[in-house]
Structure 1
Amino acid sequence: MTCDVIHPNGEASIFYTSDGAATVTLPIRLRRRSGRRMIRPRSVGPPGVTPDLTAMQKALARGFRWRDMLDTGEVASMKEIAAREKTDHSYVARMINMTLLAPQIIEAILDDTIPDIRLTRLAVSPPLFWQDQLQHLGMQPH
């Protein structure tokens, strides 16, 4: 009986035994996405293929889109956005809060390297100062 081994930093390789059987070793990394463990390839796929967005990345995109709608005057209030999107205005406010995060946190969300935290920890009343936000998440400033 064989045992599966995970080599997160190894190179992909194929080992052939004398009886013709093959053992394939693939580099992978385990990441927690939306509370689930996911196996992700170490490198990006072929050009033109977009990866699935995480819940954090979707929330960040919504927040920036909605904030832009407010800034440009396309909508007058968060309640108007909520009515258009058929959602609650408090949800809109939480997503717009995501745009107030420190640049290092936004970068970590986009790179999918943010520590394993829940979206509500970022979106509901984040600390005002970026340094405090980084400490709140246990991240180090660049």
Structure 2
Amino acid sequence: MTAQRNTGAGNPRLLTVRIEVGADARSYVSGQQRVTLVPLKIKRRQNRKLLIPPTPAEASRASGGLDVPMIKTLGKAFYWKRLLDEGRYPTATDLARALKLEPGWVAEVLRLTMLAPDIVEAILEGRQPRPLNLQTLRGRHELLPRDWNEQRRALGFVVQTLTD
């Protein structure tokens, strides 16, 4: 959706609204106008059309921002791994019990520590491929290879091969 405002006399008025379906969220300044584009979904309900704004995670990713839920989960994974490595909890099940969380969820989150370092870095910097988010990553744990080059291929990262 694009909105142009006239701020004359200190009272902003909305002059024009243009809706573009399927666009990425972005914002820029053109002259004295600030233009913001927001991706919207249009759903039909009975005889009406509803404009559905993106979820915060979708909006963040569409604008090229950070995937905050994935970053928080990665932070938990490495923190929990440190607790286990330091011996504060003998097993992931004991850690889950202490945190009052499901052991399966804790084990699933801990598997994120096996991602290639450059994949973790790309996620922290918001440079991961668009389809990669926490939900898609969670669904791939059993299929996620241990080899880092294979992980890169499976998750949509560019893999450079060295030739002699």
Fold conserved between structures, TM > 0.5 = yes
TM-score, structure 1 as length reference: 0.67
1:86 corresponds to which of 88, 100, 115: 100
* Amino acid of the structure 1 residue aligned with 2:157: M
2:75 corresponds to which of 51, 61, 71: 61
1:126 corresponds to which of 144, 148, 158: 144
Contact 1:108 1:114 in 2 (8 A): yes
Partner of 1:19: none
1:38 corresponds to which of 42, 46, 59: 59
The offset of 1:62, in angstroms, is 0.9
For structure 1, the 5+ residue unaligned runs are 16-22, 45-50
Larger RCO (CA within 8 A; separation ≥ 6): 1
* Amino acid of the structure 2 residue aligned with 1:13: S
CA gap of 1:122–1:40, structure 2 versus 1, over 3 A, is: closer
Higher strand share: 2
Q: What's the Cα RMSD here?
A: 3.6
Contact 1:97 1:124 in 2 (8 A): no
TM-score, structure 2 as length reference: 0.59
Contact 1:75 1:81 in 2 (8 A): yes
Partner of 1:12: 29
The offset of 1:91, in angstroms, is 1.1
For structure 2, the 5+ residue unaligned runs are 1-15, 40-53
Partner of 2:126: 112
The offset of 1:84, in angstroms, is 1.2
Q: What's the secondary structure of 1:25's corresponding residue?
A: strand
Tell whether 2:34 aligns with 1:24.
Answer: yes
CA gap of 1:70–1:14, structure 2 versus 1, over 3 A, is: same
Identical aligned residues as a percent: 24
Q: Higher Cα Rg: structure 1 or 2?
A: 2
The offset of 1:25, in angstroms, is 2.5
The offset of 1:123, in angstroms, is 4.0
1:76 corresponds to which of 60, 84, 90: 90
The offset of 1:35, in angstroms, is 9.1
